[in-house]
Structure 1
Amino acid sequence: MSLNIEKVKEFSNKAWDENILPTLSKYIEIPNQSPLYDAEWATNGYTEEAIQLLEKWILAQGIKGISCEIKRIEGLTPIIFMVVEATKTEKVKTVLLYGHMDKQPPLTDAWDEGLHPYKAVIKNNKLYGRGGADDGYSTFASISAIKALQEQSIPHDRYVIIIEGSEESGSIHLPQYVEKFQAEIQIPSLVVCLDSGCGNYDQLWMTSSLRGVLTGDLTVKVLNEACHSGSASGIVPSSFRILRQVLDRAENQLTGEVDKRLHVEIPQHRLDQIAKCAEILGETIYDEFSWYKNTTPVTKDLTQLMINKTWYPTICITGAEGIPHTSNAGNVMRTHTTVKVSVRLPPSFKAADASTVLKEIFETNPPYGAEVTFKMDKCASGWDSPQTRPELEKALGEASNLFFGKDHVYMGEGGSIPFMKMLHDRFNCQFIVTGLLGPGSNAHGPNEFLDIPFAKKLLSCVIYLLDAHSKFD
């Protein structure tokens, strides 16, 4: 039986309006932060509330041949593990669909009036709220895609769906589950990940690469006890000044260029794809951000901006400790300064090697003999996708043109999805990595949203691609 495209469109529209949005909105209202950001995740009940909500919705969908269970390993965030048995009788393949249910911290005070990270608001065809686009919708989209095939009585492959709870912490808890349930997962021929992004809302975007990430605490300590700045300044070196010096070893403060030891050679085919993305997206590459007053991007060279975002290492300071709030800052020489260093790494760079490089850069020969320490708390390698096989390439183009009216595009992402590297190393399979995080959607930041019309079309594409893959030899 052939897939009815008009019925797919009707299904996607109805599924989002009547079935997905109500429960996804409830999910947004749960403050279930990832374990790296919530030390009480195991006892405050939020993770459990979120996973129970998702499981209840899944079981209510009436998917034929499904087994759905919350799996638990002591001390780790739980996962939802689902298997949907094939309705095909010949050439059955396994497809692994992946998503996560944990969330980044809320940044509560930064949201616009009327919006809140834990309040679902639909406005101008957008669903606002923390975790809706990153990545709460993936559970709903994965199950809905299979439901659409079953409603049209389309024979389908065997599906394994994993929804994890520690992705925003570098998927620190997931490897043990993959090891434990390897026999049930089997060997997938295709991985579908809906935790990525799109360059615009006009076509299907395929993620070609993901940067790795490493975070850690960089501390400079100069005193055992704080003292009057009038007495100590000019004698005791400022911990903040020393911090500036050691950071400048890793990142040129004028250009933002990061130490060459953290760079890799970029493949030519990726440079070609980047140039095409820059041509399609134009000034959207930087216009999507909410710039303050006259601030400008680091360059107006669009191709270079995309290279910076997807293949160059970058360093950001995302938090600080040992520095009082300005309203409570006295004339005191502080004992120490600690900053959270977040490093984005090239897709093919081994994250564990970056820790060694950074410790050497920061800790060797500290100025004035101060104590300088760098303690890594999270690292995850990036991912460079394998070459897409011709039959899948053809199906991607068909899906994008059927539901968007434009060709699909490949784009590297500046963020990380640690599980993709893990799967790439383990299985020789194909990948469909895509998602809703487009211009302005602001995952991890204030006013996070998903574009509902785009979400409907993306679901239609996933339905089409699952059906097309089942017909591949």
Structure 2
Amino acid sequence: MSAVDAAAVTSTVNRTWQDDILPSLSGLIEIPALSPGFDPDWERTGALARAIEHVKSWLAEREIPGAEIDVVQLPGRSPVLLLDVPSTRGGVDNGTVLLYGHLDKQPPLGGWADGLGPWQPVQRGDRLYGRGAVDDGYAGYAATAAIEAVRENGGEHARAIVLLETGEESGSPDLPAYLEHLERRLGDVTFVVCLDSGGNDYERLWLTTSLRGLAQVCVTVTVLETAQHSGMASGAVPSSFRVLRTLLDRIEDADTGSILLPELSVSIPENRCREAEETVASAPGSVRDSFPLAPGVRPMSDDEVELLLNTSWRPTMSVIGADGMPTPENAGNVLRTSTTLALSFRLPPTADAAEAVAAIERALTTDVPYNAKVELTDMEHANGWNAPDLAPWLKRGLNAVSKDIFDAPWRGAGLGGSIPFMGLLGEKYPDAQFLVTGALGPDSNAHVPDEWLHIPHAQRVTAAVAHLLDAHARA
């Protein structure tokens, strides 16, 4: 696998986690560093700056020889934190390893269990609770600990840059500008490690092999200038909700949930179909049982392979918000002027997001029933990502850490979510190898109440990254 001893690296990593990472990560949880999309006044609020300074101070205390720590902030954009560590091999150039994470967080939400809260770090056994614990405040700490473990135990690593952004939960809108700004500094990126992912259990190392793209739009259908008594107007004036429902039927089959626009679908590669079968065989029930369905509700298929392909390679539409409708207790007999729905589309990893959003726009605005007024706002899109084939050195390294650290074979799986950074890097560095992994598990509650980090699993992932850094340097 590498020149470093698995037991020694594991010991170093575990010590760093217990003595150094957990206290600082707990302090990071206390900072309500909402992503800019959820805190438009983020510059004045200052929470993102506090999160950056908190982690920067921890990095400075590490005293890694030759390391440089920088906060980079372009005008009007949320900042990024960089840790730049020189290669252990002097003049030998294996390119740059880019290790990615983010410091911004999802909103707190209500409904946390007794004794827990979004900005209240609580450790119960192997779990650390709090917003940003697993998504993904731990990532910068883990990446740094992996670099240190390699160095402490006589291993090698190429030049390594840890990049922590503060806009991922808002779709990474500023990241393209930073990649362009930092292009010369990053150099030839040959290995990308992203710790903003996870897998279907805590027993093995999971690789995310694909990520869906996304498209979002708010659509408003207006039929009246002022609201009218429903008894007088219904039957003469079309319902804005019915018009909008008709438009959505052009996009989605309401009976099956299948997307009808061909621009949003692709042929699923055979290797990803085989991968889905292997994933389900390795962790049966993990897909079906990972969602807290209400009593009596069935999933969309009884075939777990189909469920996995649905959530990783097939397009979907979700209504994620609404406006123009009063709450039931405040609803009068009124024909409303308009209805607004916020639509979120997940796109296959290899779909062209620009073509997809153009098709969505045509479906919603062409030949509108009754010539109702349709307005589209807040449109955005991002391509997905499909991992390149594994290089021999990375495949050997994965097999070795699976045996020596996890005692279980690694598995790959497509992820239904989106990490725009991966699509950007995939385009910018087409020859790089990618390790997209992390400590997220099926019940770690990212984005929802009671978010928690599985500490032993995070430690194992950290040790695995250390070995793979060494394997890359020796490739």
Relative to the length of structure 1, the TM-score reads 0.96
Contact 1:217–1:340 under 8 Å retained in 2: yes
CA distance in 2 between partners of 1:314 and 1:397 (Å) = 34
After superposition, residues 13-92 of structure 1 pair within 5 angstroms as 13-92=14-93
**Structure 1 alignment gaps of length 5 or more:** none
Corresponding residue number in structure 1 for 2:176: 175
CA distance in 2 between partners of 1:296 and 1:115 (Å) = 30
Deviations 1:279-304 (A, max 9, x none): 12222212121121111101111111
After superposition, residues 375-414 of structure 1 pair within 5 angstroms as 375-414=377-416
Q: 1:440 aligns with which of 443, 452, 457?
A: 443
CA distance in 1 between partners of 2:120 and 2:336 (Å) = 39
Give secondary structure in 2 for the equivalent of 1:43.
helix
Give secondary structure in 1 for the equivalent of 2:84.
strand
| Counterpart AA for 1:443 | A
Contact 1:348–1:382 under 8 Å retained in 2: yes
Contact 1:319–1:340 under 8 Å retained in 2: yes
1:10 aligns to 2:11 (yes or no) = yes
Contact 2:280–2:286 under 8 Å retained in 1: no
* Number of positions where the alignment pairs a residue of Structure 1 with one of Structure 2: 471
Give secondary structure in 1 for the equivalent of 2:42.
coil
CA distance in 1 between partners of 2:84 and 2:335 (Å) = 59
| Counterpart AA for 2:43 | A
Following superposition, the deviation at residue 403 of structure 1 comes to: 0.8
Larger mean Cα displacement after TM superposition, 26-35 or 256-265: 26-35
CA distance in 2 between partners of 1:132 and 1:352 (Å) = 33
Following superposition, the deviation at residue 467 of structure 1 comes to: 1.2
| Counterpart AA for 1:437 | L
Following superposition, the deviation at residue 385 of structure 1 comes to: 0.6
CA distance in 1 between partners of 2:192 and 2:103 (Å) = 18
Give secondary structure in 2 for the equivalent of 1:36.
coil
CA distance in 1 between partners of 2:113 and 2:240 (Å) = 36
Larger mean Cα displacement after TM superposition, 9-18 or 212-221: 9-18
CA distance in 1 between partners of 2:325 and 2:108 (Å) = 22
Larger mean Cα displacement after TM superposition, 152-161 or 410-419: 152-161
Contact 1:170–1:378 under 8 Å retained in 2: no
- Matched residues, percent identical? 41
Deviations 1:346-386 (A, max 9, x none): 00012122110100111111122111233343321100011
CA distance in 2 between partners of 1:443 and 1:201 (Å) = 15
CA distance in 2 between partners of 1:70 and 1:322 (Å) = 43
Larger mean Cα displacement after TM superposition, 235-244 or 170-179: 235-244
CA distance in 2 between partners of 1:218 and 1:296 (Å) = 30
Following superposition, the deviation at residue 13 of structure 1 comes to: 1.8
Q: 2:364 aligns with which of 362, 365, 373?
A: 362
Corresponding residue number in structure 2 for 1:161: 162
Corresponding residue number in structure 1 for 2:334: 332
Q: 1:279 aligns with which of 274, 278, 281?
A: 281
CA distance in 2 between partners of 1:296 and 1:30 (Å) = 39
Deviations 1:151-199 (A, max 9, x none): 2243331111211111122211011111111111001111111111212
Contact 2:121–2:128 under 8 Å retained in 1: yes
Corresponding residue number in structure 1 for 2:467: 464
Following superposition, the deviation at residue 400 of structure 1 comes to: 1.5
CA distance in 2 between partners of 1:345 and 1:15 (Å) = 39
Contact 2:156–2:469 under 8 Å retained in 1: no
CA distance in 1 between partners of 2:91 and 2:50 (Å) = 40
CA distance in 2 between partners of 1:329 and 1:239 (Å) = 16
Following superposition, the deviation at residue 124 of structure 1 comes to: 4.1
Larger mean Cα displacement after TM superposition, 365-374 or 261-270: 365-374
Corresponding residue number in structure 2 for 1:200: 201
Relative to the length of structure 2, the TM-score reads 0.96
Following superposition, the deviation at residue 126 of structure 1 comes to: 1.5
Corresponding residue number in structure 1 for 2:186: 185
CA distance in 1 between partners of 2:29 and 2:320 (Å) = 24
| Counterpart AA for 1:359 | E
- Structure 2 CA distance for partners of 1:85 and 1:355, relative to 1, 3 Å: same
Give secondary structure in 1 for the equivalent of 2:8.
helix
CA distance in 2 between partners of 1:368 and 1:123 (Å) = 59
- Structure 2 CA distance for partners of 1:235 and 1:116, relative to 1, 3 Å: farther
Corresponding residue number in structure 1 for 2:137: 136
Q: 2:432 aligns with which of 421, 426, 429?
A: 429
CA distance in 1 between partners of 2:301 and 2:142 (Å) = 37
Following superposition, the deviation at residue 333 of structure 1 comes to: 2.0
- The alignment yields a C-alpha RMSD, in angstroms, of 1.5
Corresponding residue number in structure 2 for 1:313: 315
Corresponding residue number in structure 2 for 1:289: 291
CA distance in 2 between partners of 1:60 and 1:112 (Å) = 35
Contact 1:196–1:207 under 8 Å retained in 2: yes
Corresponding residue number in structure 1 for 2:99: 97
CA distance in 2 between partners of 1:419 and 1:64 (Å) = 29
